[in-house]
Each structure stands twice: as C-alpha cells, then as structure tokens.
Structure 1
Amino acid sequence: MLYDALIAPFLEFEFMRRALAGVVALALGGAPIGVFLMLRRMSLVGDAMAHAILPGAAIGFLFSGLNLFAMTFGGLIAGFSVALLAGLVSRVTVIKEDASLAAFYLVSLAVGVTIVSMRGTNIDLLHVLFGNILALDDQTLLVIAFNATITLVVMAVIYRPLVIECVDPVFLRTVSRAGAPAHLAFLALVVVNLVNGFHALGTLLAVGLMILPAGIARFWSRDITGMMMISVASAMISGYFGLVLSFQTKVPSGPAIILVAAVLYVFSVLFGNVSGLVRQLFPGRHLEA
C-alpha cells in the first residue's frame, strides 16, 4: 500500500521523475535564498519580485508562445528592470522601497495578465499564473538545474558578506566594500530563482519554495548554516509529498506542494524547538548550579 502510494508513481511514470528532479533543483537553489530573504526582512520583496517577472515572460509568450528561452529571457529582463526601477524611485523620491516595489509589482501583474489574455487562452493564462511542474520537459529541467548550480556557486562566493550583513551591516561597511556587490549579486540570484520557480509553479506560487521552507527552518535552528540545510530538506520533502498528493488526488501539483509546505510550517510554529508555541508554553527544565 505504501509502496503503491509513495514509490510506484516515480518508478512507473517519467513525468513524475522529471517533476521530482525539478523539485530537488528548486530546493537546492531557492531554499537558501529564502533563508537570507527572511533574515534580511525581504520576504515580501521576494513575493513582489515574483509578480514583477510576469510581463517579461508574457512578452516572450506574445512573440514565441510557450517558448522556454523567450519566456526565461523576458522574465529575467523584467525582474532586473523592476528591481532597478524600484531602487531608483526610492532613492530620488520620498517613496520608500517597499511602497515602490508594491506599485511596480501590481502594475507588472496587471500588464502580464493582460498580455497573456490578449494572445492566449484561459489554459495559457493558468499555465503562466500557476505553472505545471508535472509538464516539465528536458529543456526546462536543464535550465532549472543550470540556474540552481549557478546559484550555489555564487552563494559560496558571497556567503561571508551576506552573513555579516544580516548580523551587523554597519560593521561590514566599515571593514569591507563587499557589501554592495554582494547585495546586487544576491538580488540577481533572487530573480534567477524566481524565474526557476515560475517555470515550475507559475508566477503566483514561484516564491513558495523559497519563503515557506525558510520559515520552517527558523523554528528549528538558530544557526544560519543549520537553517539553510533544514530549509533545503523541508523544500524537498514538501515537493515529494506534494507530488504524491497531486498524483493520488485532483489537487493541482503546484498548490499541492505549497499546501504540504504550509502543513510543515504550522507544525513548526507549534512544535519547533526555537520559539515554537508548545515549547514556550511548556519549557524544559534548565540546569541548575
């Protein structure tokens, strides 16, 4: 029974194996990025940027249909453009960066949906908004894996300044000039991984496997390295059981993955050993001298 439910779908169907490989790549690339978004209090920025890539992907769709490289390139250009424009507006006007991003992402979402609706069908619109990880082809899987590899390599290079900036940004500015380049590289990685998530989960859920696993990890570890490892593991678990849930029921694959992650998040809120509600209500005995 457990074999038929948990293992057989991945042995019998190639599309399930591709989807699982895509989930693993998304977890390896996106979950560590989510940890730093959370620690830098930029979680909602990630959500705004996920919507910002839509018009670029939609323009790629307008000219080439559901062409992988056109939509990827368009999404990257749109994401970088919105990030730069929002930063510019916040620096030269009285509008703060969060309000500037909110304005741009709402405009981007409206423009993207309009473009897809004018050219495509309701099925195309649903594909763009919610994705379909069960329909990943070899090219898409290779792009996701390549982006995840680039993310891990760049993260290894900028890891130290990112950690120091999360802990003490003033200290980093006084001892090094690596803060600004590391921040720009980090924003670039955010956009790259949102484009990854867009292909698998759609623009509305692209940020899900970045933020929810990071929130889960925060309740189980105080160490950044530990949080990154837990976030990657929880993203993989959410992806695996989400695919199983989608296969066994009529729940779409993307929402199923995010729902499993949400269940893990609620469990962590209740029982996590770092500020979990049950832990706070029933603290263990402290060692006495």
Structure 2
Amino acid sequence: MDFKNLMDKQIQLIDRSLDQVLPKEKDYQDIIFESMRYSVFAGGKRLRPILMLAACEFVGGHEKDVLPFCCAIEMIHTYSLIHDDLPAMDNDDFRRGKPTNHKVYGEGIAVLAGDGLLNYAYEIMLKSLLQDAGDPKRKIQAMEEIARAAGIYGMIGGQVVDLASENKQIDGDALDYIHNHKTAALIVAAIRAGAIIGGADDQALNRLTEYGKCIGLGFQITDDLLDILGDEKKLGKKVGSDIENHKSTYPSIHGIDQSIAKVQELFHKSLAALQGYDNKSAFFVNLADYLVKREY
C-alpha cells in the first residue's frame, strides 16, 4: 500500500473512532455537541493521532489500546484551533475552507465547545484507563505526557508567549520557544504517548522523541512559510494573517531562504533519529517528507 493510501486509511480509522466517541444525542445542551462535532469534522490531516498510532505500532503495541488516546489528542488539538481562531486570539474567519466555529455558533458557544473538547478528551482517556484489565501505568504515563504538552508548560505556554509577542520584535530564541511549545509539544506528546502505550524501551522512546521534535518544529516553520507563499484555495484559510497580526515568524526573523533551509535541515535530522530502524521507519520517513513538501 502506498503512503497516500495508507494515510487515507488511517484518517478514516480516526474519523470512525471520533464519530463513535463524540456525543450526538439530543438534549438541552445539544448545541454544544453540534459545535464540537462541527470543528472536529471540518477536515484535517489527523497528524497527531496518526503519529500516535504509528508510534504505538512501531514498538509492537496494539491499535485497540491506543485509539481512545488518538481520539483524545485530536480533540485537544481541535479545541486549541477553535480558541486560536477567536477574535481575542488570531481573529480568523475561516479554517480548512469553512467558517470558523465562532462565525457559525457565536463566540460564547465556541469558547464552550473548545472547553468541552478539552474536558471530554480526558474523560475518554480515563474511561480507557478504567476499562484496562492490565497494568494501567503506561496509560497514566501517556496521559501525563499529553496533559503537560497541552498545558502551561506546553501549548498554552507557547500561546501565551505568542500573544505577548504581538507588535514586538522578538529574537530567534523566543520564536523557537513559541514554536516548540505552541505546536511541536503536542506532536512530540502524541508520539511519546503512543510509544509508551505500546511498551517502548528507552532507546526507541528517545529516538522517536527526537524525530518528533524535528518534524514538530519543521511543521510550524513550513506553516510560517505557507502564510506568506501559500495558495489560499489549497490551504482553506487566509494567507498573510501573521503579517496582519504583526506576529514574528521564521521568515520575518531569518528570511525565506534560511527558513526553507532550516526545514530541510530538520527533515534530515528527523531521518537520522530513526537510523537503525530501517525495517520499521518507512512510514515515519514518508510522513516527514510529506510534511516538509507541502506547497509554498
């Protein structure tokens, strides 16, 4: 099976799982269920759950053990996008070619939909933990990885520094902090959580972590480049919003050519991290290639 077909198959698996676990019943608060599902199923690469699933299988783990955590991390990612699009944050009208959540449901419901997805993600992980007849330690460890990466020492921390840096000239170190925490942290956590649930040894976990750090930062630098050079129709959102919001980005600090070179450097470092696992690493190699070759 070629890489594109494999990715499509994994996306379908994640989407089916999300559809099963997300509430859809009719009740007094059914507007929140509708709003949550609207953003979860608005399209997307499902990068984080796919990485989690791949990392689990890479170390010999089983799909059934990790799927609830795959759903949870996609919900956490989606919550962050709903909040990121709000007028108080990036003030975006479109996401993946569709009106953003607050444009459809209003700001109040959008805030609550994000809150709902974040909270429900932990409900799903805890339910999986309580239903596990085996040793729960791996799943507790995985939850800790995800919680930290999503919180004040990870994604939220990066978002805080990103907001505080608007209309300011920041240096490369501060920008690396933002990218490594706001974007890369949850990507790394997805990989680490999947590997931990799958029973990774220290060497495999360290190698996969290094891979995740490289593609996480490379993914965000590519997003910075796409915001300048990308095609709005292909991206499904407005380009130029970083400039409009006076945000520092890799291209604004380092220039376009150096930013492209940095992505290539990170790509090669990600491959080097998995040397010695040649019979298992094909998916990760192809994924890294796919991420850095998104069209500018």
- Do they fold alike, i.e. is TM over 0.5? no
| TM-score, with structure 2 as normaliser | 0.31
Higher helix proportion: 1
| TM-score, with structure 1 as normaliser | 0.31
Higher relative contact order (CA 8 A, sep 6+): 1
**Larger Rg, first or second structure (1 or 2):** 1
